Amino acid sequence: MEKNFTEQRPWGFYTNIAKGNGFLTKIIHVNPEAQLSVQSHNFRSEHWVVLSGKAVVILNGQEFILSIGQSIDIPLKAIHSLKNPYQYELEVLEVQMGDKLSEDDIIRYQDIYGRV
């Protein structure tokens, strides 16, 4: 994987910034009033840090609102989503940890963009 690889998504985009043995680091950019699917992963956990904006995180049915500098851990197999219901941009640093760090490890339960 090339460094700083950017992938467009219906909710915005992400950029891979570093990958090593057992970890992958991304910057996730969520457009205003957009959200990622409700999903889980069988092979990785994630750690999210809000870099700009304000994030609404759904984790196993609980809602958390995170501001700049705040973080949350997404355990392996946890059902989660990331939302930006606000009028400004949201950027989140994501560190994935696990044996399989691939977009194939997404199990979608709900998605406003019809990807379930």
User: CB–CB of 82/57 below 8 Å?
Assistant: yes
Cβ neighbours around 46 below 10 Å, total: 22
Any idea where the domains of the chain sit in the sequence? 5-110
Mean pLDDT, to the nearest integer, of 55-82?
A: 98
Instruction: Report pLDDT digits (tens) over 17-47.
Output: 999 999 999 999 999 999 999 999 999 999 9
Residues 49-58: pLDDT tens digits? 999 999 999 9
Q: Which fold has domain 5-110?
A: Jelly Rolls (2.60.120)
pLDDT at 74 over 80: yes
pTM: predicted TM-score of the whole model, two decimal places: 0.94
Six-digit token string for 37:
């699917």
